[in-house]
Structure 1
């Protein structure tokens, strides 16, 4: 019987996050974004033999159309990885990217692989949230409680409203939380705190002169997330109308932004560290996923975080940096308040309300954030956690080494 061994992160990067539909990645394919992240991650470990890579595990929440046909394998081929490198696409909705990290780490931990890549990619510009042709089971409509099990069909915004009601999170608190997300993100950008984790991406903008029928192409390099707004104010957020319930409290301003982006991490065993003389950035410590009632899916981290901490032999006070995906301010505050998390440790550089949430890519993106933040701030433990559509929560813990 093989002994459980440690899995180490030796490279972690991500693309900038673009606003969906009108943002700088609106015409950039998700497989190309993935390939960019994969190439950049590999460039961070020049001593690693690409032939040693066992597999690419890529999270994607809506794996169809431009991000279908096993986007993990397609991204690996586009990135120029050896044809011997496999690829598998995994889907746990918002936790897809984090589950990819967990799956890659587990292959190493049980001794089945020495080098793995975990990633995530999503284009919400090209593939809508429920896909191009959603089809729910007809029998689900006969029972409202069963219909709730779809979660995503029930309406993510309505689940946030349910959480706000049940956990008594008011509109003012949600708008204040959203404003702080933007302010923290802007401050981090101005301080250059995202530079270690972000891989700049060259974007081509094409335009047509209708008179001459000539196509002009202009290229530009994007190196920061697009969603953070320095002019955001609490007063401005308070004026926004609710979009999911007439007498509710959830607005577009205190919800995460639909987005496009990708991230990638390279994980290796201790044997690979020595063989290729690599420097570890962090150790993957533990992971947990748990289910909750779908109509309050936003509360999922309340169940997943304690499970991940127990597996790691830690308490939440031991965690120095927490990336809590801000699907909605309502659910983020409910999780923070219920578990008694230190708000100062949660999303110190802003969260999805300001930075964006490209669904299946977010877990990999936020993992890259945690890995670099721990090293930059000389901290010990970091956590990535999120709620998941259809009623789940996930959490992963990393240790700086």
Structure 2
């Protein structure tokens, strides 16, 4: 198979659900903007050169429905000839979209594609507007439909992840993110137009546009003491709180992928190659263990060991599951190489966007540090894990 080269990988800021800068900004507009920016950042290709657009979205309905992968590319002004699709693997949707876009290039079906993700948890809150669990199956396996928070409590209880350790992990995430933000290290972010509706003197609302340039959920004043005072939110007497869980967030991200022939034709500068991607199932009621089973499978495919990996982006859906995975993988002592600018606890988890968002972050950090191999991984609702291996060019 051919190599698939990622030539740009960018994201919007991640902004808090219902309270953040994107609460009035449609997800298709967010996605359209970042698709256009991803192409413009190459400096060499135009939208007409794109063969296909694959977009991850965990709840593809309402303002992010109607095949948002196609709709947003048209809103972005791409030619009608550029096709698009929407992919759903819940929390790994954005990474799934990137892998599928890469596979098209690797198979020789396309020369230039885009893989990305979008989620507005303001416009379409979990678990969507009209969830309809199967009533017969739910009698047998209600765990398939379990709240993600309950699965985090299960992981904490079954694998003895203490409240103190969860809060310490959450504190570290916030401090890393605050430091990176202060030092301007989120170079993968593109300042993004956002909408707001301002009440006028005559009682009507006027739509205004402003530029949002940073993740707005980071809490630099977080303290361990403050985290320790937060009540559990999913189970009486539990240990999972709003402070040691990922933030619900709005955002979009996109990567442009090219074949070697396209790289040469257009004079593109590759960032990295997607080498391997894998998924694996686990028990739905402890879905957070997903990375602990997906990463070993990935490394076996690649013939690598954990010690070969220079940087990790392991999604912090909850501190309990993230800690369990790091301990099981025996990489807890590598925290200087794991989520080095903070994770979803500080920066947010915009569901279908997260896989694409973490890709942009990982590749930017691999470039900055000159790291050969980076791994991105996450747990997935319904009981799965996903992991991808990137090699720096």
Structure 1 and Structure 2 fold alike (TM over 0.5): yes
Instruction: Note if 1:189 corresponds to 2:181.
Output: yes
Residue from 173, 197, 220 that aligns with 1:206: 197
The CA deviation at 1:203 is 2.1
Contact 1:201–1:221, Cα closer than 8 Å, also in 2 = yes
Residue from 139, 142, 163 that aligns with 1:147: 142
Contact 1:8–1:281, Cα closer than 8 Å, also in 2 = yes
Residue equivalent to 1:25: 22
Deviations 1:267-301 (A, max 9, x none): 01111111111110111111010000000100011
Contact 1:19–1:226, Cα closer than 8 Å, also in 2 = yes
Contact 1:57–1:118, Cα closer than 8 Å, also in 2 = yes
- Bigger Cα displacement from structure 2, 162-171 vs 134-143: 134-143
Residue equivalent to 2:225: 235
Structure 2 matches for 1:15-94, cutoff 5 A? Answer: 15-94=12-91
Contact 2:40–2:46, Cα closer than 8 Å, also in 1 = no
Write the distance in 1 (CA, Å) between the matches of 2:126 and 2:208.
Answer: 30
Contact 1:336–1:343, Cα closer than 8 Å, also in 2 = no
Q: Specify whether residues 51 and 220 from structure 1 end up closer, same or farther in structure 2 by C-alpha distance, changes over 3 A only.
A: closer
Residue equivalent to 1:287: 277
* 3-state secondary structure, aligned to 1:299: helix
* 3-state secondary structure, aligned to 1:5: coil
Write the distance in 1 (CA, Å) between the matches of 2:128 and 2:211.
Answer: 29
Contact 2:30–2:252, Cα closer than 8 Å, also in 1 = yes
Residue equivalent to 1:393: 385
Q: Specify whether residues 328 and 309 from structure 1 end up closer, same or farther in structure 2 by C-alpha distance, changes over 3 A only.
A: same
Residue equivalent to 1:176: 168
Structure 2 matches for 1:339-378, cutoff 5 A? Answer: 339-341=329-331, 342-378=334-370
Residue equivalent to 2:237: 247
The CA deviation at 1:345 is 1.2
The CA deviation at 1:217 is 4.9
The CA deviation at 1:215 is 4.0
* 3-state secondary structure, aligned to 2:317: coil
Tell me the matched-pair count: 391
Deviations 1:345-372 (A, max 9, x none): 1100000000000000000000001111
Deviations 1:174-217 (A, max 9, x none): 000000000000000111100x20110122322223x5335455
Contact 1:115–1:267, Cα closer than 8 Å, also in 2 = yes
* 3-state secondary structure, aligned to 1:267: strand
Write the distance in 1 (CA, Å) between the matches of 2:14 and 2:271.
Answer: 23
Residue equivalent to 1:264: 254
**Structure 2 unpaired stretches of 5+:** none
Normalised to the residue count of structure 2, the TM-score between the two structures is: 0.97
Q: Specify whether residues 213 and 315 from structure 1 end up closer, same or farther in structure 2 by C-alpha distance, changes over 3 A only.
A: same
Write the distance in 2 (CA, Å) between the matches of 1:215 and 1:72.
Answer: 30
Write the distance in 1 (CA, Å) between the matches of 2:46 and 2:389.
Answer: 27
Normalised to the residue count of structure 1, the TM-score between the two structures is: 0.95
